[in-house]
Structure 1
């Protein structure tokens, strides 16, 4: 479990504190800051970099760090997207674990990692522990914990503890995205974002980014959107992390390299989801890129809402069919279920979404949190 050797009582208290975050009604930034208070003494790290992520693709969409200089953050983005390094966030996630250390995955040869040679080592750190915060099919965030070289590598029990902590942080971050019953924009229970009372859309926001992902040109709506999607920590990028990630994914696609998805979903501070599409203008890995940001359609956002409610994969299938107008008989036939099994799933879906009927469920999902 990792608790036995990781300073016993302090470790147990940290886990209890992390478990409570899921019901605290906090923003992601506040979850990260509280988690830092709980974990720093147990994991014994000297610096941490927290990230929100697109739950569907797992791509990083923001950065928060009070410990690190982010003046060269464009290099970190480049390494994350282009370098086939060890213990990257996608590799950790696909390995079936939630936490991994550079020292363990390289068998003590941390210099085998490009990330270590170019960033971690020169900054004075000797090991890095990365964790991914998955919950109910979505990756809601991730973090990199660095420790000074004179502390030695992370211990096995600390990695195991981080694995347990990551599970609770996944639930806490998922809870940040649970839609509120009234569609208000107060964080913690962010509104769904489709039917909220926003100003009328002025059309998609369009940015042209240069080779270092700094803006060269932008449309009118883009300037206002950039402020709403700004990272908690100031970086050298000149645009929010999500836009830089979209641009780098477009550059990869332009040279025929695989990308997790062609779009990135990101939520603003008011709880509204946007979809970012990147397109390389010159067909090369270092050229200009256009990034278009549009309000998420129901098809884009609906799976995120259902995952945020904590629905199982089967419950999500049932809920999606309900939204599409299917009745119990249709769901039973399409999913090869007994009608009473469908009813059991419906009861669970209603309980998790905080509604009492199919009509309320559809309204909650389609109309921005309003169950009326």
Structure 2
């Protein structure tokens, strides 16, 4: 797609450069704000990281919004079906959608618009999903004032292109040291009451809450990821099927945890226990392979190579020729920055960046 205007071209070029800048998510979002605010013409933005595998939102960051109503936003996102949700955008094959376009110019048809966007003083919302290389690494919602009118088609198209580059930048945040066993592998436990208020947390839980704190505090009293899995557990208890009562989260120092949520009394308005277990290599390895830019087929080959399968075994298991396996391995070595299977295992499994 040809982008209109020098400003749009400069914004995309700036976003493309972020993939090699070595920045963490918070700084990536701040830089994206600087590059996109003028060309997309938004007045407020809410940035999110996500569990790359499920797309479940795991944090929130905004310099524009007070987030006083974020508790309602979390519950709304989980419990209500609406137009242009992050899930629907991801399934559509696009990376951006607006309420205006999704409702054919009648934003009042959107429940989210009536209950959240309009009361907050905005006239349209555009959502983007940072979905690339087999993972959804984050997402964002861009709001604009009513006097700007609805988002234009060219702005949605620009956001769609921008989202791919933002996804690549966020993806590179995860391509460092993948997994190393902690001295203490015991899980952390947090108990949340109605409204996802913090009821209790063990010592490990208190430390994890502090380590994963985001802009939702103190509105939610717990990081966004805990509130999201809690609401999904409540949704399941109400009788609505959901597979999202767990999420992978990454701490600032690169450790991965898996959050599991369950109702203690079995009632949707009851207490929820969230157990945070250190993630195993099996739970994080696919994320790191995707973070290095491996395609789905390359990930399958890489996982079998890491398990010790030789070329013929991989070819037999994946119904391909040995020559095709070798071609995939060459591509894998190039993307990961290694030159042998031994070095691949050292980098992906042991986090050894010295072997090439």
- Aligned residues of 1:57 and 1:264 also touching (Cα < 8 A): yes
1:110-129 mapped onto 2 (5 Å cutoff): 110-129=107-126
1:156 to 153, 175, 180: 153
Shift of 1:259: 2.0
Aligned to 1:175: 172
Corresponding residue SS for 1:292: strand
For residues 242-269 of structure 1, the C-alpha deviation after alignment (integer angstroms, 9 at most, x for no partner) is 0001111111222332224342001111
Give 2:244's aligned residue: 261
Give me the whole-angstrom Cα distance separating, in 2, the residues matched to 1:360 and 1:314: 20
SS of equivalent residue, structure 1 residue 124: coil
Deviation track 1:290-344 (CA, whole Å, cap 9, x = no partner) reads 0000110111111101100100111000011112221111001111111111111
SS at match of 2:194: coil
Unmatched 5+ stretches in structure 1: 180-190
Question: How far is 1:150 from its partner?
Answer: 1.0
- Match for residue 3 of structure 1? 3
CA separation in 2, counterparts of 1:2 and 1:283? Answer: 53
Q: 1:260 to 1:371 in 2, by over 3 A?
A: farther
Are 1:139 and 2:136 matched, yes or no? yes
Displacement of 1:232 in angstroms is 4.6
Counterparts of 2:23 and 2:187, CA distance in 1: 29
The structure 2 residue matched to 1:210, chosen from 188, 193, 197, is: 193
When the two chains are superposed, the root-mean-square deviation of aligned CA atoms in Å is 1.4
Q: Which residue of 2 aligns with 1:18?
A: 15
Task: Report what 2:25 is aligned to.
Answer: 28
Partner of 2:162: 165
Q: How does 1:214-229 map to 2 (within 5 A)?
A: 214-229=197-212
The equivalent residue for 1:49 is 46
For residues 50-98 of structure 1, the C-alpha deviation after alignment (integer angstroms, 9 at most, x for no partner) is: 0000000000000000000112211000001001111110011001110
Conservation of the 8 A alpha-carbon contact between 1:2 and 1:161: no
2:216–2:222 contact (8 Å) kept in structure 1 = no
2:97 aligned to 100, 109, 117, which one? 100
Q: Which residue matches 1:38?
A: 35
Is 1:362 matched up with 2:352? no
Please give the alpha-carbon distance, in whole angstroms, between the structure 2 residues aligned to 1:85 and 1:113: 6
Alpha-carbon distance in 2 for matches of 1:212, 1:227: 19
1:332 equivalent in alignment to 2:315: yes
Q: TM-score, normalization: structure 1? A: 0.92
Take 1:132 and 1:284, find their aligned partners in 2: how far apart are those partners? 32
Q: Distance in 1 between matches of 2:354 and 2:314?
A: 22
Q: 1:302 aligns to what?
A: 285
1:348-359 alignment to 2 at 5 Å? 348-359=331-342
User: Alignment length, in residue pairs?
Assistant: 355
Residues 202 and 295 (structure 1), Cα distance of their counterparts in 2 relative to 1, 3 Å cut: closer
Contact 2:19–2:170 under 8 Å retained in 1: yes
Q: Unaligned 5+ residue runs, structure 2? A: none
Q: State TM-score, norm by structure 2.
A: 0.97
